């Protein structure tokens, strides 16, 4: 796939100054990978102005069948064949419940930890950059006593940002997680995602970008929104969990943000999610309301709130045990929003970069505003695309 992007993609690594940049996308069948491919042309058009000469870059989307990122020989072969300048790792093991049962924990760690490590090693060899996608499930929903900075950078103690839990040594987290908050995953899945983050940063340092996101949905693949739409057409009522709080995120908005980070030569750890927060129950109610309004549903059905314990008990009666999930995992995206809004690139310490100054805010695109709007607006944009 060849598309046009701004020359802002760094002149480094394995292409000539005037040649195409090669971007390898793993997990090409995933909803994010498909959104990245769909939005590549959008970002190219947004930045194709006379102020900046354009060049082509080459997208190499590889499915799991084409590249198993946990296979060292396969990864080395792919890097040798395509010699990427950038790698966007969308490959992941997402079976949160399955990962708790043997032999799945080993598979979860192979894909979510070993895989990113192998990609990072090859990026070191080729002087390439890596964008790795991680998860809000690296958090537990709790914070230890003494932590007290909110999303707005103000002491959460002032606004009672955390509430005391039954464990006197911990507080219930009720303000969005910052990048500086210490992770404490509850599940095998969450632990494997955190291990992948650690491996990437250990090997690549500032040449890595790790983006934690949450409750991802889109028009592609399997996700909560599409599942709800299907069930709302076939079930008389639905029980939906109401005591897990998070930040729903549209895959296309995340994809657009990933491209912006690449154009701006980002580095380090970022959070990105739709603004605001809700429970799964509130999310389902909004899905039904909007879908009915857009005539995607012909009728509305009763939605019944249920707590996590009750939901787990019902699942256990059906012979299925559920992994522990964070009671609260909303993410604060302010660091990323501020970085993208900066008028100048802050990459002087990267000797391989020689890039012009750019203010991305000067190039308006509908997705740019959607990316920083409330999760309900992102949901609306997604449903209107169906």
* Active centre residues (catalytic): 189
Specify the 3-state DSSP secondary structure of 317: helix
CA distance 300 to 320: 29
- CB neighbours (10 Å) of residue 101? 13
Preceding omega of 103 cis (within 30 degrees of 0): yes
DSSP string for residues in 220-282: SSS-HHHHHHHHHHH-S-EEEE-S-EE--EEHHHHHHHHHHHHHTT--EEEE---BS-EEHHH
Which residues make beta-bridge pairs with 217? Answer: 250
The structure tokens 């909303």 sit at: 330
Q: Quick check: 216 and 92 in contact, CB under 8 A?
A: no
The structure tokens 């709302």 sit at: 232
| Dihedrals phi, psi of 252, to nearest 5 degrees | -70, -35
In the chain, at which residue ranges do the beta strands (DSSP E only) sit?
Answer: 2-6, 21-26, 54-62, 86-89, 129-135, 142-144, 162-164, 170-173, 208-213, 216-217, 238-241, 245-246, 249-250, 268-271, 278-279, 303-306
Check residue 110 and report its DSSP letter.
I
- CB neighbours (10 Å) of residue 122? 22
């Amino acid at each position: 796939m060849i598309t046009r992007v701004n020359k802002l993609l760094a002149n480094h690594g394995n292409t000539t100054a005037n040649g195409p940049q090669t971007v390898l996308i793993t997990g090409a069948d995933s909803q994010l990978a498909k959104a990245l491919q769909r939005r590549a042309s959008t970002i190219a058009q947004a930045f194709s102005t006379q102020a900046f000469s354009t060049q082509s870059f080459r997208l190499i989307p590889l499915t799991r069948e084409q590249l198993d990122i946990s296979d060292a020989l396969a990864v080395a072969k792919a890097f040798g064949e395509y010699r990427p300048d950038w790698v966007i790792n969308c490959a992941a093991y997402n079976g949160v419940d399955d990962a708790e049962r043997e032999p799945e924990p080993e598979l979860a760690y192979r894909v979510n930890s070993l895989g990113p490590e192998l990609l990072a090693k090859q990026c070191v060899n080729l002087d390439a950059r890596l964008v790795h996608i991680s998860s809000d499930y690296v958090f537990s929903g709790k914070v230890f006593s003494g932590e007290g900075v909110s999303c707005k950078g103000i002491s959460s103690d002032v606004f009672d940002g955390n509430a005391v839990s039954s464990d006197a040594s911990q507080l219930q987290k009720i303000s969005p997680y910052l990048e500086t908050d210490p992770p404490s995953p509850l599940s095998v899945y969450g632990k494997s995602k955190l291990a992948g983050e650690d491996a990437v940063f250990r090997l690549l340092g500032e040449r890595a970008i790790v983006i934690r996101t949450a409750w991802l949905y889109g028009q592609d693949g399997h996700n909560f929104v599409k599942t709800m739409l299907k069930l709302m057409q076939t079930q008389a009522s639905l029980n939906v969990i109401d005591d897990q709080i998070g930040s729903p995120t549209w895959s296309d908005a995340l994809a657009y943000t990933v491209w912006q980070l690449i154009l701006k030569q980002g580095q380090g750890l970022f959070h990105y999610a739709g603004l605001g927060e809700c429970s799964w129950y509130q999310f389902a109610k909004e899905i039904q309301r909007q879908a009915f309004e857009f005539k995607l549903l012909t009728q509305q059905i009763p939605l019944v709130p249920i707590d996590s314990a009750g939901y787990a008990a019902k699942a256990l009666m059906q012979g299925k045990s559920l992994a522990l999930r964070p009671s609260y995992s909303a993410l604060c995206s302010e660091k990323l929003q501020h970085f993208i809004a900066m008028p100048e690139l802050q990459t002087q310490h990267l000797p391989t970069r020689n890039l012009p100054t750019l203010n991305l805010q000067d190039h308006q695109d509908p997705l740019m505003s959607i990316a920083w709007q409330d999760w309900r607006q992102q949901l609306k944009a997604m449903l209107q695309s169906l």
